[in-house]
Amino acid sequence: MNTDSFSEENLVVADSDAQSKRRQFLRHGAAAVTGALAASAGLRSAIAATPTTAAEDAAPAAQGTLSIPPWSTQSGAQVGSHPYGTPSRFESGVIRHLRKTDKQYFSSSTRSPLQELDGIITPNGLFYERHHNGIPDIDPAGHRLVVHGLVQQSLEFTVNDIRRFPSHSQIYFLECSGNPGYTVHAKTAAEANGLVSCAEWTGVLLKTVLKEAGLKPEAKWIIAEGADGAGMTRSIPLEKCLDDAMLVYSQNGERLRPEQGYPLRLLLPGYEGNMSIKWLRRLQVADRPVHSREETSKYTDSLPNGKAREFTFVMEAKSIITSPSGGQQVEGHGFHEIKGIAWSGKGRIAKVEVSVDEGKTWQAAVLQEPVLSKALTRFVFPWQWNGESVVIQSRATDETGYTQPTITALVEVRGVNGTYHNNAITPWRVAADGKVTHALA
């Protein structure tokens, strides 16, 4: 049953208004740069009057010339000293976040540091994880995928067999349906919505492989099973399998990482992440769903009337401001650029609106290209902060017209007994001292 309809008014911004917003953005940006240059001149004068350390010597001198920093006076690390590239040691704090409440780490997750990332592609080393019985160490030479059930012929594939099919690459987001729970008021963007990431996936369309096996007329569902110790199993409507579903073996140009399903995983764009079965070993074509543990006792939505929604596949429109966001500090009054991400399992993001007055009014943000279907979309919004305490938030509308709800509206429909599919607005409070916290905490 569908209980998710919200009647919030969708604001339509005309082209002329959008152009005006862009001109305003540029004016604010130019003013901010001018102010920054003036402040920089004063700062250089102050620096010239104080002793400097080796690190400070790297800053521009009062006369406008550059001193020579220590790293410019010696040879750097040898070429090839890092056969697999690693980030700068000064970025060592940009890592995935483990849940502090976990008592064991086999059925667990780690979150992408959304507040530290730019663009729409999540680096492989920072892509969120969710496991149900740890990460198996699979030798691809011994791995097999079996397709059987209501097919004309059962087939068994090696990984190399799958790679012989015509390849397909596409950018899609992946999101855990527990991102976050209904009673979670997180300290950071990672804690709030870090179980979402986005990548370019490469593999073969699932319908290509199913065509090879041949589907019988009574086929209605595909039962996918993983090779991990949990034997993760989900039922997938045949319509999805014949649409954009993929069997993927590469992510962001390299082979899948073990924690992302190496050597082969299923990818169901726009569907809740647990359905994109990792370490895929079996596809059984059936006439009905299997009603596995992961789609009965888990990954269902408990409603206030005691009933539960089952097979809530699609992840609905969502957005979050990542800068400024919880745990960060807004430095100085004046111009700041509010940044964030938006996404929808139903297709493209049509617009994102930002409020800087606790939801009283909303203004259109600028969507940065590319705006892709079922992928993260970046948005920016020019903001002049006057130094007073304020609540900032964003809401997304996708191409179907669905608009991201407030947590109050969502709880009225679903209650607070559920764990999954919370796509509510995340509000951040910027205090007078610039400290940013969750507005509902």
Supply the CATH classification number for the domain 102-309: 3.90.420.10
Tell me, which fold does domain 314-438 have in CATH? Immunoglobulin-like (2.60.40)
The larger pLDDT score, comparing residue 372 to residue 23, is at 372
Q: Torsions phi, psi of 417, nearest 5? A: -80, -20
**Pairwise CA distance, residues 368 & 342, whole Å:** 11
Query: How is 420-434 classified by DSSP, letter by letter?
Result: S-------EEE-TTS
Counting residues of the chain whose pLDDT is more than 70, the rounded percentage is: 84
160: amino acid identity, one letter = N
pLDDT tens per residue, range 315-344: 999 999 999 999 999 999 999 999 999 999
The larger pLDDT score, comparing residue 65 to residue 387, is at 387
Picking from 49-58, 285-294, 353-362, which range would have the lowest pLDDT averaged per residue?
Answer: 49-58
User: Residue 31's pLDDT is what?
Assistant: 47
Picking from 34-38, 54-58, 70-74, 273-277, which range would have the lowest pLDDT averaged per residue?
Answer: 34-38
pLDDT tens per residue, range 260-312: 999 999 999 999 999 999 999 999 999 999 999 889 888 888 888 888 888 99
Annotate 31-55 with three-state secondary structure: HHHHHHHHHHHHHHHHHHCCCCCCC
Strands 363-364 and 366-367: unpaired
**DSSP 8-class letter at 334:** E
**Mean pLDDT for the chain?**
87
8 A C-beta contact, residue 277 and residue 225: yes
Copy the structure tokens of residue 291.
Answer: 């009603």
User: Residue 309's pLDDT is what?
Assistant: 86
Tokens 């400097």 sit on residue: 52
**Pairwise CA distance, residues 131 & 110, whole Å:** 9
The larger pLDDT score, comparing residue 239 to residue 411, is at 239
272: amino acid identity, one letter = E
**DSSP 8-class letter at 182:** T
**Pairwise CA distance, residues 344 & 421, whole Å:** 12
Residues in the chain: 441
Handedness of CA 171, 256, 106, 194 (dihedral sign): negative
- Residues facing residue 271 across a β-bridge: 314
81-90: average pLDDT:
90
User: Residue 44's pLDDT is what?
Assistant: 36
Short-list 317, 376, 380, 379, CA closest to 121: 376
Tokens 């017209």 sit on residue: 401
Distances (CA, A) of 64 to 45, 56, 290, 313: 10, 14, 71, 59
Say what the pTM is: 0.84
pLDDT tens per residue, range 69-79: 998 889 888 88
Copy the structure tokens of residue 324.
Answer: 């400024």
User: Residue 304's pLDDT is what?
Assistant: 84
Strands 280-286 and 145-149: parallel
User: Residue 64's pLDDT is what?
Assistant: 64
Burial 413-436 (b: 16+ CB within 10 A, else e): ebeeebbbbbbbbbbbbbeeeeeb
Ranges of each domain in the chain: 102-309, 314-438
The larger pLDDT score, comparing residue 14 to residue 127, is at 127
Q: Torsions phi, psi of 127, nearest 5? A: -65, 135
Short-list 362, 368, 316, 315, CA closest to 340: 368
End-to-end CA distance of the chain: 32
8 A C-beta contact, residue 189 and residue 114: yes
Spatial neighbors of 175 by CB under 8 A, at least 6 apart, are 195, 196, 197, 272, 273, 315, 318, 343, 345
- Residues facing residue 225 across a β-bridge: 233, 282
User: Residue 439's pLDDT is what?
Assistant: 94
Examine the pLDDT at 184 and tell me if it is beyond 90. Answer: no
Examine the pLDDT at 433 and tell me if it is beyond 50. Answer: yes
